[in-house]
A and B are shown apart, each in its own frame.
Chain A
Amino acid sequence: MEENKTLTKHSPGYGIYILVWLALVTLTALTAAVAGISFGKFSIVVALIIAMVKSYLVLSEFMHLKFEMKAFRVFVVVAILFFLLLIVLLFQNYSYY
């Protein structure tokens, strides 16, 4: 089946992976550096945003999500939305008394 060879067509060279890795290392350094700065309530937001960017890079490039069928990306989005839904609804209980 041609699909079994899909990734050969899109097979990235080694270079792109090294670039992604450099970005990840940089972002890690950034996270650690920023941790020293006090954003108050927003510190966790900053940390999480950086973590999300890193995750996006891993998902999209290392895990080839951007090369897979659209359905795969839909699956990941569905799971993330489900999780966010849980947090939002859960906090309805804990944020208000």
Chain B
Amino acid sequence: MSNSSIALDGNGKLPSYLIDQGKHKGILAWLLSTDHKRIAILYMIGVLSFFAVGVSLGFLIRLELLTPEGTIVSAQAYNELFTLHGVIMIFIVVIPAIPGIFGNFFLPIMIGAKDVAFPRLNLLSWYLYIIGGTMILLSMVLPGGAADTGWTFYIPYSVRTGTNMVFTLSAVFILGFSSILTGMNFLTTIHRMRAPGMGWFKMPLFAWSLYATGWIQLLATPIVGITLLLVIIERVFGVGLFDPTLGGDPMLFQHMFWMYSHPAVYIIIVPAMGVISEIIPVFAHRTIFGYKFIAYSSIAIAVFGSMVWAHHMFAVGLSNNAEFIFSLLTFLVAIPSAIKVFNWTATLYKGSIELEAPMLYALAFIFLFSIGGLTGIIQGALNVDIYLTDTYFIVGHIHYVIFGGTGMALFAALHYWLPKMFGRMYNKKVAKVAFWHIFVGFNILYFPFLIMGWLGMPRRSYHYLPRFQIYHVISTVGSWVLVAGLLIMFINLLRSLRYGKIITENNIWGGESLEWKVQTPPIAENFEEIPVVTAAPYEYKENDEPVLEKEEII
């Protein structure tokens, strides 16, 4: 297949996707591009911008909590702050981040395809994402005030409150639609567009994680979609379905909300785990231990993760039967995640470990996510959860798994793949300095949450008892260290795009998946010729037998 219509550059190589080659030029060539790599960059700009907003909100919350009484914001404003922090971080950052940025950029390349199955729908997904995200930002300045219900939007308050609920919920609905389309796109891409020889069990584990995630996005998101739509309808038309005075059941809202929002945390974490599965083998120079177990565990997490939602409701009056079943299932869902942690650790064993920035973040993931996961198990125990519900223990758990998990994986992915995406290397020393600030700051910020939660500090609480102040102060100082680290990290990465050392080699880190065999940065079509795949993923030289399986084409 010749690309004779495209001029080769000075090195005799085809131009990268960063050079405008279509009929549009400049900004339009980005905003109207259906190239998955450009869309990935668009997502990156969006996600990281919204992340900055979310971090700022968190920073403000921590400042407010330095003192037990109100300090810098009113009670109403505080409610809006933690609501927006949650909505932005969950719906606009951690759910779309890894699939939207790295899934988009690397899934087609990893499976040997030129693009995703539906490139135009991919662009539509991004526009829906931006529209939804912008609406959330606007909700902060529109009259009525931003939503103040917490990101969980529980009725009846979400029906009664005078703030911009319809606007906010519409934004979340639109964001959900973006997620559904992405899931549908990735599922079809993986089924239909793998290169010759790329059987299911030759795919990189990142692709497996995106496959499992795609199913959750597709099947679970519509449930929260209809639930939030019904709150809008309740506010506008008063149908009674979510109005207790007319017969509506607040518990039913919670059931339906968590039927999505629990699987959503697996949308959040499974792609992150996929990233870790990519990075650990490369920087330990070992084939991943238990490839098939990790692949299947992604599917198992998706399946079991759909069955545990009511563990968010142990304190609201579930039936005894329900409590028992959901607690049991909650313990079970930890098993596939644990399998992954064991397999990553086994991969490290006797490996030749290189502590580059991606590896540091990956190791931090394992450590922090394990803490978060274990606190999750504690919460799964009914008798303990009665005391821990709605305390800072939960907030600590959330941040350890989401920020310590997906957040670290996001930073790992940035340090791993950004050089490939842009052909520039960041300053590795500065990257490590940033890492340590982030890691140390993170723990100073969030470990006190676990302690004070255990001691009874309630969450979402504007005032608190003076005995908790010491923990809050330590936390807030930790947040400053963390934010400093984030700034160093992002400035380092951003600078590298312009001033970083130019990379010409294809295989920057010594990886074995297909993205390390293509040009840096990749050409628009990804491959000059679609490869025929014969090797298994992660085959490394000084190692055990590689995992070569008979693949099935489904």
Given A71-B554, A79-B219, A93-B255: A85 and B307 within 8 A (CB)? yes
B306 touches A82 (CB 8 A): yes
Most buried by A among B307, B322, B325, B326: B322
Query: Is B318 on the interface with A (CB-CB < 8 A)?
Result: yes
Known interface pairs A79-B219, A82-B306, A97-B319. Does A89 touch B325 (Cβ–Cβ under 8 Å)? yes
A–B pairs, 30, beta carbons within 8 Å: A70-B554, A71-B191, A71-B554, A78-B215, A78-B219, A79-B219, A82-B306, A86-B223, A86-B259, A86-B306, A89-B307, A89-B309, A89-B322, A89-B325, A89-B326, A90-B255, A92-B321, A92-B322, A93-B251, A93-B318, A93-B319, A93-B321, A93-B322, A94-B319, A95-B321, A96-B319, A96-B320, A96-B321, A96-B322, A97-B319
Q: Which residues of B contact A97 (CB under 8 A)?
A: 319
Q: Top 7 nearest A-B pairs by Cβ distance? A: A93-B322, A92-B322, A96-B319, A96-B321, A93-B319, A92-B321, A93-B318
User: A-facing mask of B388-418, CB < 8 A → 1, else 0?
Assistant: 0000000000000000000000000000000
Instruction: Name B303-322 residues within 8 Å CB distance of A.
Output: 306-307, 309-310, 318-322
| A contact residues around B321 at 8 Å (CB) | 92-93, 95-96
Q: Known: A71-B191, A79-B219. Contact between A93 and B554, CB under 8 A?
A: no
Known: A86-B223, A93-B318. 14 other contacts (CB 8 A): A70-B554, A78-B215, A78-B219, A82-B306, A86-B259, A89-B307, A89-B310, A89-B322, A92-B325, A93-B255, A93-B321, A94-B319, A96-B320, A97-B319
Contacts of A92 in B (CB 8 A): 319, 321-322, 325
CB of B219 within 8 A of CB of A82, answer yes
* B329 → A minimal CB distance (Å): 8
Interface readout for A59-97 with B: 1 if CB under 8 Å, 0 if not?
000000000001100000011001001100110111111
B123-134 vs A: 1/0 string, CB under 8 Å? 000000000000
The distance in angstroms between the C-alpha atoms of A97 and B323, with both chains bound, is 11
**Min C-beta distance of B453 to chain A, whole Å:** 26
Which of chain A's residues have a CB closer than 8 A to the CB of B251?
93
- Bound CA span A44–B307, Å: 26
* A93 / chain B contacts, CB cutoff of 8 Å: 251, 255, 310, 318-319, 321-322
Q: Give chain B's interface residue range (CB within 8 Å of chain A).
A: 10 to 19
State A92–B320 Cα separation when bound (angstroms). 9
A88 to chain B, nearest CB (A): 10
Instruction: Show the binding face of A for B, using Cβ within 8 Å.
Output: 70-71, 78-79, 82, 85-86, 89-90, 92-97
| A70 contacts across to B, CB distance below 8 A | 554
Interface of A is mostly: helix
In the bound complex, what is the Cα–Cα distance between A92 and B323 (angstroms)? 9
B residues near A89, Cβ cutoff 8 Å: 307, 309-310, 322, 325-326
Nearest neighbor of A79 in chain B, beta-carbon distance: B219
Chain B hits for A85, CB < 8 A: 306-307
What CA separation (Å) do A94 and B319 show in the bound complex?
Answer: 7
By beta carbon, the residue of chain A nearest B251 is: A93
A95 to B318, CA, bound (A): 11
CB-CB < 8 A to A96: which residues of B? 319-322
Q: Which of chain A's residues have a CB closer than 8 A to the CB of B306?
A: 82, 85-86
Closest to A97 in B: B319
Report chain B residues within 8 Å CB of A86: 223, 259, 306
Q: How far is the CB of B173 from chain A (nearest CB, A)?
A: 20
Chain B residue at minimal CB-CB distance from A70: B554
Chain A residue with the shortest CB-CB distance to B220: A82
Complex CA gap A96/B320 in Å reads 8
Question: Which residues of A lie under 8 Å from residue B310 when comparing CB positions?
Answer: 89, 93
Q: How far is the CA of A93 from the CA of B317 in the complex (A)?
A: 9
Closest A residue to B324 by beta carbon equals A92
Task: Tell me the chain B residues, 287-337 only, with Cβ under 8 Å from chain A.
Answer: 306-307, 309-310, 318-322, 325-326
- Residues of A within 8 Å of B320, CB to CB, are 96
B249 CB → nearest A CB, Å: 9
A75 to chain B, nearest CB (A): 9
Q: Which residues of A contact B215 (CB under 8 A)?
A: 78
When C-beta atoms are compared, the residue in chain A nearest to B325 turns out to be A92
Q: Which residues of A contact B191 (CB under 8 A)?
A: 71
CA distance A79 to B184 in the complex (A): 13
Chain A residues contacting B326 (CB-CB under 8 Å) are 89
Please measure, in the bound complex, the distance between the C-alpha atom of A96 and the C-alpha atom of B215, giving whole angstroms: 31
Select from chain B the residue with minimum beta-carbon distance to A82.
B219
Specify which chain A residues have a CB less than 8 angstroms from the CB of B554 in the assembled complex.
Answer: 70-71
Q: List the A residue with the shortest CB-CB distance to B219.
A: A82
In the assembled complex, the Cα of A96 lies from the Cα of B322 at a distance in Å of: 8
Rounded to whole Å, the gap between the CB of A84 and the closest CB of chain B is: 11
Q: Give the distance in Å from the alpha carbon of A4 to the alpha carbon of B116 in the complex.
A: 19
Chain A residues with CB below 8 A from B325, complex form: 89, 92
Instruction: Say how far B382's CB is from chain A's closest CB, in angstroms.
Output: 14
Cβ distance A77 to chain B, nearest Cβ, rounded Å: 12
Smallest distance from the beta carbon of B149 to chain A beta carbons, Å?
23
Cα distance, A86 to B219, chains bound together (Å)? 11
Find chain A residues with CB under 8 A from B219 CB: 78-79, 82
Smallest Cβ distance from A4 to chain B, in angstroms? 12
B307 contacts which chain A residues (CB < 8 A)?
85, 89
Who on chain A is nearest to B309 by CB? A89
Q: Which of B111-125 contact A (CB under 8 A)?
A: none
Closest to A83 in B: B219
